[in-house]
Structure formats: C-alpha cells, structure tokens
Structure 1
C-alpha cells in the first residue's frame, strides 16, 4: 500500500514539475506566444516609417504593437524606424508581413540576425521573426522594398519574462 502511495506522489510531483519547467524548444514557442499576443491584441501605436534613417520614428520593446505605414522607396514601399537597446543581448523582432528587414547600428554597421523564421506554429500572424544580438545603443531597422503598404511590428527582449 505504501508503494502505491509513494508512486502516486512521485508521479504527480513529476507532472507538476514538467508543467512548470520549459525545455529549450518550449522557450522559443513561448516567446512566439508572447509576440503573437501583442501582434493580435496590441495595444497599438500607429507610426509612419521615414524614407531615411534621419528623423525615423522610434519603436521599443514596451509590450506594444507598432502599426507602421510604409512610404515610397526604391523598388516599392519601405522605410526606417529606430530601436534603442537599453541593454545588450538578444532581441526578437516580430512582423506581420513577409517584408525584407535590414538592421544597422546608428553609425551604419550591418547587424546580421542570428536566426530568421518566416512563420510560427504558435501563431499565423507571425510572418517574420528575427533574432538579433544587439549592443546598447540605437539601431536603424529598414523595411522593404515591398508591395505592402503597412505592417505590424513587435519587439521582445530575448531573456524577457512576461508577467500578466
């Protein structure tokens, strides 16, 4: 009888432990859920991208969705926004449209993404997820050229723990 009770306690403990702890794959999926939540629900901030990095509006990793209107650019529509990284580390940029994205430091040095995905099993709204390692400072994000006239954008810090 004691063995059955012990087995039941151990089994329920391991189930609780498994439910509370994510594995490496689960962490990536949960960040997609976080990005998707903001892509779907906002809150939304409408902005218009700038034709050049000069005067480009700022976006942030502040739990907001930025609805970015693109402007006329060489080859179609496009535009730039700025993103200020307050601490160094991985950031994830989610976009609602499959649009080319280039990332540069404020002084023009290209920053290559560590990973790029064009979809998510967690969320059909994600048409692009860019994982980039950024140093502290302002970065210029340039979208396009594309035929799209707008897109939604969400930024998340890679080590971010969101509490609802």
Structure 2
C-alpha cells in the first residue's frame, strides 16, 4: 500500500542589508568596526594567516573585543567571535549584547567579501541571543568591499539548537 501523505516544502529565507562600503555605515557602526579592525590586528594566526577581529557592543555601552587564536593542535584554537562573546559573557554576565562587528583579512590575499561566522561561532552567538531573548545585530566585513548586516543570528542559523531540546 502506498503512503498517501504529502510532505510540504517550506522556504526559509531572511533579509540582509548590504552596504557598498564601510563609509555607508552609521557613525556608531563605523566606530565599532574600527575597534574590530584593531582587534583583528592582534590575531594569532601563524598557520592559516587568516586574521579575524570581533567587537561586541553591550547595552551598557561597553565594548569587548576578540581575535582568533590558533594552535598547532587544530582545532584547539578559538575564533574571534567566540573569544569576544565568551569574554563578554564572563565579564558582564547579565548585560545584553546589542551588536557584534566581525572583520577578516588574510596575509595571503585580499579579503574583499565579508566572512560569516563558522558553525561553532553561530551556535555560540545563538546561545547568547536565545539566553537574552533579544536579537544580536551582526556586521560582517572583509578588509575592503561590501559590509553585510544581519538583524539577528537566527537569520544565518535557521532551525538553531537551543536548550528547549534538552528538557
């Protein structure tokens, strides 16, 4: 006997804002991205030569930075996004995260497109977004070119895993 149940296809989509250049950002977002660029310069990336900086703006006005920290024993290092967000969570555990600016460059080539967070970083940011019950706006930039803005981590991690599955 054939199963007559019909599955339905669902489209999951989201909107992003694409700025043609850094100069199109608001003054506040430019300042946050400049802090991320400075953090990027402190990256320890002797193996990949791919340097990432992140700046997390908290609702109390504090900015916490992070840069990727590699280790010869892959995957023991940490990405800039997790360094910054974990530092913010440790130093200001009850303060809402408003924005995270992320920028990437390479010593091997010019990074002209924004580099989105890896899966581990998306999950870590998603955890904080879920915990605080408010979206975290994300700004993504290479060393030149477009800047992408996502209004929430859920935009780039649909069907995310959170603690409601751990009941």
Q: Using structure 1 for the length normalisation, give the TM-score.
A: 0.32
Higher relative contact order (CA 8 A, sep 6+): 1
By percentage of residues, which structure has more strand?
A: 1
By percentage of residues, which structure has more helix?
A: 2
Q: Using structure 2 for the length normalisation, give the TM-score.
A: 0.32
